[in-house]
Amino acid sequence: MKTLAVLSRKGGTGKTTLALHLAVAARNAGLSTLVVDLDRQQSSVEWRRQRGRCDILVEAVKPGALFTRQQDACREGIDLLIVDTGPSLEADVEQAIRCADLCAIVARPNFFDIKAVADTAALAHSFHRDVVFVLNQAPSRRGGFENPAVGEAVLTLRALGGVVAPIGLRSRVAYQQSVALGLTAQEHEPEGSAASEIAALWRWMESRLHTERAPTPRIPTFVSLAAERTARPF
């Protein structure tokens, strides 16, 4: 079993959105997936209630019980444990980091979010965890060009010593509309752009999860055009 912790000290960066979309992508890839919700707001649990179906397991877990739940999940044959965290206390985040094979730190490409990730990244590094940054709500390209805020965010995040996932999530209403229905974008609009970027991000995350100490991947330039039809790297 692999454990992915989704982190950021700020609220509203997109932790729950990312956790749930990756959970559905993993389930679609045939993995039995459990999302544990450490956040007191319990957004993931709310989403599961709205969803009604039980194809994705989502449970509220107290941070102190995470390690035990992880061990039980392993025994139960869960393939992937995704830990959705709150914008919370260091101690809670530390529990998630300790349990994680991979820490995904979510940030929007703005000054406040990028400033806020440094401490979380440092904490994860202090436990020798693999750290990736995932940019969320990135503005769409215009005329084939990346918004300068995205380029600046990528450079700042790299300077913190993590790898920036080459595929992030653009700002798209599909993410908001789908979760309100207890779905994800790939279920709500399977042919949409959000669906293809999530598929591409999941492929990248999965390979990262299975790489013991992943080498830094080739860094795409902002104007490089990937093979992906709509999900282009930053």
Inter-residue contact 174 to 197 (CB < 8 Å): no
- Residue 133 sits in the site that holds ligand ADP (CB under 6 A): no
Q: Which of 3, 14, 23, 135 binds ligand ADP (CB under 6 A)?
A: 14
- The span of 12-20, 141-149, 159-167, 202-210 binding ligand ADP (CB under 6 A) equals 12-20
- Residue 13 sits in the site that holds Mg ion (CB under 5 A): no
The b/e string for 160-184 (b: 16+ C-beta within 10 A; e otherwise) is bebbbbbbbbbebebbeebbeebbb
- The span of 12-20, 112-120, 188-196, 222-230 binding Mg ion (CB under 5 A) equals 12-20
- The span of 1-9, 40-48, 92-100, 126-134 binding Mg ion (CB under 5 A) equals 40-48
- Which option in ligand ADP, Mg ion, none does residue 220 bind, with CB closer than 5 to 8 A by kind? none
Q: Which of 137, 156, 184, 186 binds ligand ADP (CB under 6 A)?
A: 137
Size of the site for ligand ADP (CB under 6 A): 16
DSSP assigned state of 76 = H
Q: How far apart are CA 212 and CA 171, in angstroms?
A: 31
- Residue 15 sits in the site that holds ligand ADP (CB under 6 A): yes
Per 3-state DSSP, what percentage of the chain is helix, strand, and coil (rounded to 5)?
Answer: 45, 15, 40
Nearer to ligand ADP, 123 or 174 (CB): 174
Strand partners, 7: 105
- Residue 33 sits in the site that holds Mg ion (CB under 5 A): no
CA-nearest of 161, 157, 154 to 216 is: 161
Inter-residue contact 132 to 104 (CB < 8 Å): yes
Which residues are within 8 A (CB) of 33 and not within 5 positions of it... i.e. 6 or more apart? 23, 26, 27, 56, 57, 78, 79, 80, 81, 82
Q: Which of 3, 33, 43, 196 binds Mg ion (CB under 5 A)?
A: 43
**Footprint of ligand ADP on this chain (CB under 6 A)?**
11-17, 43, 136-137, 169, 171-172, 175-176, 179
**Footprint of Mg ion on this chain (CB under 5 A)?**
15-16, 43
